[in-house]
Structure 1
Amino acid sequence: MTPNNSRRMSCAVALLTLAAAAEAHTGHGTHSLAQGLLHPLGLDHLLVMLAVGLWSLRGLGAQRAWQGPAVFLLSLVLGAALGLQGLMLPQLEALLALTVLMLGAMLMQPDRALPPALGLGLVASAALLHGMAHGAEAPATAWGAYALGFVCSTAVLHLGGLGLGLVLQRGFAAHSRSVLRVLGAAMGAAGLYLVGQLAA
């Protein structure tokens, strides 16, 4: 792949990501498995979960890449349980938007620039916030199907991020780092956009 083509593809991905930035959440219900499956498709959730898979591969290496999604899922469930009990942080929507910015910045770092423990800690903190949002929106009773849905959907998105990372490594070779930086910058811009929408 030529440098010009790599730049064109990177710009296209960035524009598509920003064009999708409309709402942080999809506005669906919270009472069924199907609704739980759809919930992580809100922009902030979607970008963060894909980014966790991407960062885990680049930041932890192929042998440890499973740790990022595993930490995220565990913290997500913990956060959902806290949210279900009514524990909420002020300005949670703004904090969720900032997690998009944070994960974008993590993607822009050189390979393994962050110590693994720090990177996983940041992943866990993002997951805890997203879990609180899920739990706060869940019904007070019979929320098991909804919870199973968003956990399964989250896991699939993590796998998608890992798969995208492998495609970048194998298909774009020397240009994969540049593409990932562009993706990180686009995520950061999307996070700023979401913060701006909340402030408007």
Structure 2
Amino acid sequence: MNSKSLIRTAALAAFLLAPGLASAHTGIGHVEGFAHGFAHPLGGLDHVLAMVMVGLFAAQLGGRARWLVPASFVSVMILGGALGLAGIAVPFVELGIGLSIVVLGGVVAFNLRAGVAAAMALVGFFAVFHGYAHGAEMPESASGLAYGAGFVLATAMLHAAGLGFGLALDGKAGVRGAVVVRSLGALAAFAGIGVVTGLV
């Protein structure tokens, strides 16, 4: 499959999935235990796109950023989840989640270079909002810990998927692979604009 076909396929998939997956944190249904926590980040396009973009961003930066940037997101997301579980108000959560897709997608699309500390701070800032959305739905029972472990594992897997995809394209496809990664970042940024404006 050439890069144009891959880009078209990714765009079509995003378009078709967007209406059903736009919000993973609606508070609908029974929420408890590891399985529900694991499914929570995977059930919304907003969370999936942002977390995959973190992995792609880390792949673009290379070196220590490959593990420090995703680790920063996961660590601060846990803090955000604790805030949500405790009922401590965090303003503009939905806007922060939407903007995370726009900003992280844009960073990938423009292949922006940043120091490791700056990249960790950027993803950590947005991780607060994603963690809060997860934590606000975490049950206050013994299953809450299992639920939290589930959403942490799912998040780490999404980061790993983005990282692995970015590294595979960079290693095997050279310049063409970099163009595909940047195009995926642009698609994510446009999807994020749709989330922010309510069109998605």
TM over 0.5: yes
1:166 corresponds in structure 2 to: 167
Which amino acid in structure 2 is aligned with residue 178 of structure 1?
V
Q: CA deviation at 1:63?
A: 4.2
- Aligned partners of 1:16, 1:139: CA distance in 2, in Å? 32
1:79 corresponds in structure 2 to: 80
Q: CA deviation at 1:94?
A: 2.1
Q: CA deviation at 1:145?
A: 0.9
1:100 corresponds in structure 2 to: 101
SS in 2 for 1:146: helix
- Aligned partners of 2:77, 2:59: CA distance in 1, in Å? 20
CA RMSD after TM alignment: 1.9
- Aligned partners of 1:13, 1:62: CA distance in 2, in Å? 27
- Aligned partners of 2:51, 2:174: CA distance in 1, in Å? 24
Aligned pairs for 1:13-92 (under 5 A) are 13-22=10-19, 23-25=22-24, 27=28, 29-41=30-42, 42-59=44-61, 61-92=62-93
Which amino acid in structure 2 is aligned with residue 96 of structure 1?
I
With structure 1 as the length reference, what TM-score do the two structures score?
0.89
Indicate if the aligned counterparts of 2:64 and 2:116 stay in contact, CA closer than 8 A: no
1:152 corresponds in structure 2 to: 153
Which amino acid in structure 2 is aligned with residue 58 of structure 1?
Q
2:8 corresponds in structure 1 to: 11
Indicate if the aligned counterparts of 2:69 and 2:116 stay in contact, CA closer than 8 A: no
- Aligned partners of 2:185, 2:196: CA distance in 1, in Å? 17
Which amino acid in structure 2 is aligned with residue 127 of structure 1?
A
- Aligned partners of 1:139, 1:188: CA distance in 2, in Å? 32
Indicate if the aligned counterparts of 1:94 and 1:195 stay in contact, CA closer than 8 A: yes
Q: CA deviation at 1:193?
A: 1.2
Indicate if the aligned counterparts of 1:79 and 1:129 stay in contact, CA closer than 8 A: yes
- Aligned partners of 1:116, 1:19: CA distance in 2, in Å? 35
Indicate if the aligned counterparts of 1:98 and 1:191 stay in contact, CA closer than 8 A: yes
With structure 2 as the length reference, what TM-score do the two structures score?
0.89
List structure 1 segments (4+ residues) > 3 angstroms apart after TM superposition.
26-29
- Aligned partners of 1:48, 1:126: CA distance in 2, in Å? 9
* Stretches of structure 1 lacking an aligned partner (at least 5 in a row): none
- Aligned partners of 2:3, 2:153: CA distance in 1, in Å? 33
Aligned pairs for 1:177-188 (under 5 A) are 177-188=178-189
Output one character per residue of 1:47-106: Cα deviation in whole Å (capped at 9) or x when no partner. Answer: 1111111111112x1443100111111101111111111123233112211111111011
- Aligned partners of 1:91, 1:62: CA distance in 2, in Å? 33
- Aligned partners of 2:7, 2:33: CA distance in 1, in Å? 37
Indicate if the aligned counterparts of 2:77 and 2:131 stay in contact, CA closer than 8 A: yes
Q: CA deviation at 1:25?
A: 1.2
- Aligned partners of 2:30, 2:131: CA distance in 1, in Å? 16
- Aligned partners of 1:14, 1:118: CA distance in 2, in Å? 30
- Alignment size in residue pairs: 194
